[in-house]
Amino acid sequence: MTTDLTHWQPRPQPDQRVLQGRFVRIEALDVARHGEDLWCALQGPDPALWDYLPYGPFTERASFDAWLTGNAESRDPLFYAVIDQATGRALGLFSYLRIMALDGSIEIGHVAFGAPMQRTAGATEAIYLLARHAFDDLGYRRLEWKCDAANARSERAAERFGFTREGLFRQHMVRKGRNRDTAWFSIIDGEWPGCRTAFQLWLAAENFDERGQQRQRLEALRR
């Protein structure tokens, strides 16, 4: 952890360059290119997908497209589509948000991965690509992950990806008529090299058998 910041300079704002991985690529969200794919992917058989997001589910295409358009035009949150390399289809979206260039702090959030992408190597790689861009390309000091404390899936994901639980903001928000206590997680720059190595080892071809099943878990590689 860096304590002497006498010569610290604000970090660049993230751009929406294409981030290429083995399983997925990340590119700027575009309604014309990605709208149909995302409409199909996010209407899939996952009734819990929208439970802890402040919007959705969408039952009409027009309202969905209006939501996507707002996301595509936003700069904070800054939205990306996640494209499956094998099919070329957009299977999910997520964003950077709370972009604090002055302090070198940035968050990953608004994660909406369709059922075909959930619990896949591509889903893990997508998070890795955004984390790597924040730390290695932009030089940020802190990467955050926040979620409703009732969202067990999101909490498990944060811990699996290497985020450290920092605490709980009680009665932080009201969302969809419910109280939200917010769980805070982070990775800081001194922790990132170990997390990066674990991601790279996990994503390597030799970590998957002929059926595509992992040989070693991400958490084990980080230890």
| % of the chain with per-residue pLDDT over 90 | 92
Instruction: Say whether pLDDT at 190 is over 60.
Output: yes
Instruction: Say whether pLDDT at 125 is over 60.
Output: yes
Structure tokens at 12: 């660049």
Kindly indicate the confidence band of residue 1, based on its pLDDT and cuts at 50, 70 and 90: low
pLDDT tens sequence across 24-39: 999 999 999 999 999 9
Instruction: Say whether pLDDT at 103 is over 80.
Output: yes
Nearest-angstrom CA–CA distance, 56 and 100: 27
Instruction: Say whether pLDDT at 118 is over 70.
Output: yes
Instruction: Say whether pLDDT at 47 is over 90.
Output: no
pLDDT reported for residue 2: 56
User: How distant, in Å, are the alpha carbons of 35, 78, 83, 101, 220 from that of 71?
Assistant: 12, 7, 17, 20, 36
pLDDT reported for residue 3: 72
Burial 194-217 (b: 16+ CB within 10 A, else e): ebbebbeebbeeebeeeeeeeeee
